[in-house]
A and B are shown apart, each in its own frame.
Chain A
Amino acid sequence: MQLSKKLEGNKLTITVSGRVDTITAPEFEKYINENIESITELILDLKDMSYTSSAGLRVILKAQKLMSAQGSMTVINVQDDVMEIFDMTGFSDILTIE
């Protein structure tokens, strides 16, 4: 899993690539927590995220809850396989996916 970010004022884009699993998810969570202070618009770019387990979903749901308190969160470029998991778990209804 690799993580990168791009900050434009109060808008933060985090790009996730590779696998988000039980081992890597804590790192992902920490990365988000460290960077979203005073951010009102969070973009999660999942263009290169090939895999996520429930651990990854948990991080994304946490981020959604945090961001709905201080702004908004949008998920973009979701791969088909991951999208299938979002659909399965009802995440496609609670996330803003573009």
Chain B
Amino acid sequence: MNKIFKIRTNLAFNIVSAVILLLIFFSLIVSAIGYVSFTNAFYREYRESTCNMAQTATLLVKADNIDTYLAEGGTSDEYLQSQKNLDKYCLKMDVSLVYVIKVDTSDYGRFTSIFNSVGRNTPYSPWKLGYQQDATNDEYIQVYKDLYEGNISNGTIYRTKDLKGAPPHITTLVPIKDTKGEVVSLMCIQRPMKELKDGRRPYLINIAISTVILATIVALLCTFYIRREFVNPLRRIATETDRFAKENKKGDELGSVSKIHEISTIGLSIDKMESDMLRHIENLTAVTAEKERIGVELSIASTIQENSIPNIFPAFPAREEFDIFASMTPAKEVGGDFYNFFLVDDDHLAIVMADVSGKGIPAALFMMVTNILISDRTHMGGTPAEILTFVNNNICEHNRADMFVTVWLGILEISTGKITAANAGHDDPAIYRKGGQFEIFKSKHDLVVGAMGGIKYKDFEIQLNKGDKIFLYTDGLPEATDKDNKMFTLDGMINVLNKHKNKNPEGILDGINESVSEFVGDAPQFDDLTMMCLELKDDKCLKTLTVDATTENLATVNEFIDGFLEMNDCPLKEQMKIDLSVEEVYVNIANYAYGDGTGEAEISIENNDGEITIVFKDSGVAYNPLEKADPDISLSADEREIGGLGIFLTKKNMDSLSYEYKDNQNIFTMTKRIL
């Protein structure tokens, strides 16, 4: 099947078949034309020569005496002589019949035979004088009539098919006129037409043979030509393109493959295309390799940049006075935004938020320099204004690239909550006051760092109280754009901040990131997105107590818990339930965690918007009190066991309990909503 299809789609085969078909068609037309013109010429020639014969034969008959012959019954010597002459003539001319008839001129439908001579090899027997017969058909009647009336000088009737055993023949009729010029009878000669058949067949065979020979020659020539100028060149081109597609390597040039201009052009074009393509492949390989190298370097640069700023959280697990969280999402591998925070001393935390003009590697390099300068200078002491003044002068001195950076630098005095800050053209932070909302804190903006040397920056102060939060960001946040080019906007940012205002800094940043991702959707991130949130923690929020796990210390634990609950306005009823639960869990730890020895128990209590969470940690033997079955409280006093009620009471009095064993510690957590 495949092979047949291949042949059918083969160019040479198709063209040659078309040529052969065309020639066959052509020869059929030629044969048909030849057949018709041969037949016509034969008929004309036959008619004329037979007509001449008939004319000649009329001379052998004495027209004036025809009626006399009929009357006498053909006994006169003259009649017999004429009959004899006609017989001789008939044989001489090799015709089938020579006969003379007298037609009944009333309707020309009947005739009487006068003379009748029959030739050799004919199926006829001669008619006697006076023999009468109806005209063979209307054609004869018409010819008889026309001849008698003088409309035509001779008539011819063709019988091309065998008729009553007679071979095809023509009958030519000429009038015999008497001396007065009247038509008295008709001279008819019937002549066989076997010459037509004999002549036409070889003629047709000749035409057929010569056509076949001609067709073969033309087809061969055609094939040869097509193969040389079309098929072979195209095959070479096909082979070469196939090879090139597979190998992608330089091969022999095709050059001029054919004398036909169009085909030759294809070959030359393919040569050119191959060399062009090879050059492009080479270029592309080089470019790709270079791109990969840059990619690897960028990824390393990205890691270096990420690690140049604090990125492990919680950043200060030992400090309970504040909580800080920050994130940086560069638009490209490396970014120009940065945040930083570090303890200058035990009571001072520096926080930096900055945005370098531009993006990518130049911005990243500029960012590294600025960040190092700021943090080094901050460690040397001084106010943010002094630090920025120094950093600005330093950068301007070497700033050949005309880059600049906006900086918000603040130093928090942890014990008092006072932030001293300076703003070099950076976006104003948002501040959350405990119990209130996030709001933009407007301050005086000084010139961006790196624009002009010799500028004096000015300090301003922000007082943070316990429970307050400050949120710093770069313009990538309010200017985050969705696919319709709509911006997230400052109002959008404040809205989202307030939606998450009660969360800790990490929760707030997660909330913002989620909202921004949702807003931006599939649109590409255009600018770096950097933000930082600092919370000055409320003492009321979290307290931790670590004691030796002994029953004697229950009083200390109670005092710690009660103190916290009272500060958080816990209703007495709930306080009692919490006290009870704390006692049961703590006493359990004191009695069993460390066996006969002693160890520590850490108790932390936290208030999240009216939900109290208490976590007990000890390093004693792993024990999950929640696995203990509840006592059957339906038993009678005598049947009830003494004890086993502690954890049951805890379960009943708290909202939720959970236990895990992690890092060799039993961690038991319980929560209860009090407000």
Contact = CB atoms under 8 A, between A and B. Distances in A.
A54 B645 contact: yes
B645 A58 contact: yes
A88 B642 CA distance: 16
Please indicate which of the listed interface residues B551, B573, B580, B652 has the most CB atoms of chain A within 10 Å of its own CB.
Answer: B580
A65 to B, nearest CB: 6
Nearest to B649: A54
B637 A23 contact: no
Given A53-B649, A61-B642, A89-B648, A95 B580 contact: no
B634 A85 contact: no
A89 B645 CA distance: 7
A21 interface: yes
A90 B551 contact: no
A21 B583 contact: yes
Please indicate which of the listed interface residues A22, A23, A61, A89 has the most CB atoms of chain B within 10 Å of its own CB.
Answer: A22
B interface secondary structure, majority: helix
Contacts, number: 65
B649 A89 contact: yes
Given A51-B579, A54-B645, A90-B633, A61 B587 contact: no
B639 to A, nearest CB: 9
B646 A54 contact: yes
B636 interface: yes
Given A22-B587, A85-B649, A89-B648, A64 B580 contact: no
Contact of A85 (B555, B580, B587): B580
B638 A68 contact: yes
Contacts of A53: 580, 583-584, 587, 646, 649
B644 to A, nearest CB: 8
A1 interface: no
B636 A94 contact: yes
Nearest to A96: B637
Interface in B635-675: 635-638, 640, 642-643, 645-646, 648-649, 652-653
A88 B652 contact: yes
Contacts of B576: 50-51, 81
B267 to A, nearest CB: 99
B379 to A, nearest CB: 51
Interface of B: 551-552, 554-555, 558, 573, 576, 579-580, 583-584, 587, 631, 633-638, 640, 642-643, 645-646, 648-649, 652-653
11 contacts: A22-B551, A23-B552, A23-B555, A54-B645, A54-B646, A61-B640, A65-B638, A65-B642, A85-B649, A89-B633, A90-B633
